[in-house]
Each structure stands twice: as C-alpha cells, then as structure tokens.
Copies of this chain bind each other. A is one copy, B any other.
Amino acid sequence: MDEARKAVLQEVFSFWEHLTEQEKRETQENAAELCFQKGQFIHRAGEDCAGLLLVTAGQLRTYILSDDGREVTLYRLWEKDVCVLSASCILSEVAFDVLIEAAEDTQAILLPLAFFRRLKEENVYVELFTYRLATERFSDVMWSLQQILFMRADQRLAAFLWDEVTRTGREEIAYTHEQIARYMGSAREVVSRLLKYFSEEGIVQVSRGKIRVTDRAGLKRFL
C-alpha cells in the first residue's frame, strides 16, 4: 500500500488514533484495492457482503428495487465516503436489503468482511465508527424520502440537474431520461415531459443521451 493510500485510511477512518500499532499494521495489510466498472454490482440483497468500502474515485449508488422492477435511489457515495451497507450482514440492527452498484468507474479500498468483523469486535471505536456511519446514511435516506414524498417532480428534476452541474463543474449531463428517472424515483415519461418543458423555457438543451444546462439561474428558480 502506497503512502497516499495510507494517508487516506488515516484521514477517513476516524477510529485510527484508537487502534493499537498491531491493528494499524493489520488494517494496512488487509486493505485491498478494488476497481469496479460502471454498472457493476457491488452488493446485491442477500448475496454479497464484501466488507467496509472506502471510495477513492468514482461513484457508488445505493438503491432498492420493487418486485416489479422499479428502482429508488437512496443515496450516492463519492471520493472519501465510506460504504457501510456493503458490510450489513454483520450489523444485526440492519434488517433491510439494498443494492449497491458502481454508477461510474469506481476505485475503492476494501476492509474485507472477516477482518473488519474482527476489528469491530475487538475495538469499540471501530464499532462506534460503523454505527455513526450508518446513522449518516439514515440521514441521507430521510433526505431522499422527503424528496420522494413531498417535492414536486419539477423541483426534484431541477435539484438533480443542479447537483450534477455543481458536483462536476460542467454544464453537460450525460444521463439518459431513464437513468434520471431511476435516480429520482420517478418514471421516464415524467422526466421526458419535464425536460421538454425546461427546454422550452430555455433552461436546458436536450440531445440524444445528453442534457446541457444553458441557464443556471433559471434552473435555480425551480429549487
């Protein structure tokens, strides 16, 4: 493990100062670097349980799936975020199943399940870190829930576009209407209709598989 990776571990894992020298060494030795291709599954309800994942590049998306195939995005994780539900099988308090996929090409550092389980059992600060993380994800889910339940679809689409432009610093958004609908927990038809409306308002330009935000101030009025 190179020094840059070690520095990320120490920065993100706030329990680091509470580890013994041996635990620090073992954490570095057991940490594995993984690459996921865009669209690759990382966790599938009841199937995989890889361990704790620290994202170093790219994006993970956590979502749930209904019996009839509808997807609802719960939250997304970026660089230096830690994915805790990929170790949900060793958290007895987590009684639900989610799916986790790489929404972009993604790199991550994995603390494999068996090692992470042992570390969590022998060090109360690791356990505390884990449940604090889960509580953060609880907040993320509450945010999504409120968006789904209470925000009008035009607001949700505007919020999605605004977040993307802010995050990437680029006006161009390379998602299909279908993908945006999934992220919003809405239907493709609704997204297409709204994009047509935004386009007529001069806020976006829509072309095949791409959306360009042409009027940020206009978009912001919908937030």
Given that A128-B128, A128-B131, A141-B141 are known contacts, is A66 also in contact with B136, CB under 8 Å in the complex?
no
Q: A185 contacts B124, CB within 8 Å? A: no
What is the bound-complex CA distance between A148 and B64, given in angstroms? Answer: 13
What is the bound-complex CA distance between A145 and B144, given in angstroms? Answer: 10
Tier of interface size on chain A: 20 to 34
- Asked if A214 is at the interface of the complex by the 8 Å CB criterion, the answer is no
How distant is A72 from chain B, measured CB to nearest CB, in Å? 6
Which of the 9-residue segments A26-34, A88-96, A164-172, A189-197 touches chain B? A88-96
Given that A66-B150, A150-B66 are known contacts, is A134 also in contact with B145, CB under 8 Å in the complex?
no
Q: A139 contacts B94, CB within 8 Å? A: yes
Q: A124 contacts B128, CB within 8 Å? A: yes
- Asked if A125 is at the interface of the complex by the 8 Å CB criterion, the answer is yes
- Asked if A70 is at the interface of the complex by the 8 Å CB criterion, the answer is yes
What is the bound-complex CA distance between A125 and B72, given in angstroms? Answer: 35
Majority DSSP secondary structure for residues of A touching B: helix
Chain B residues near A134 (CB, 8 Å)?
A: 131, 134-135, 138
- Asked if A114 is at the interface of the complex by the 8 Å CB criterion, the answer is no
The 29 listed contacts between A and B (C-beta, < 8 Å) are A64-B142, A64-B145, A64-B146, A64-B149, A66-B149, A67-B150, A70-B150, A72-B145, A72-B149, A91-B135, A93-B135, A93-B138, A95-B143, A96-B142, A124-B125, A127-B128, A128-B131, A131-B131, A131-B132, A131-B134, A131-B135, A134-B138, A135-B138, A137-B138, A138-B138, A138-B141, A141-B141, A141-B145, A148-B149
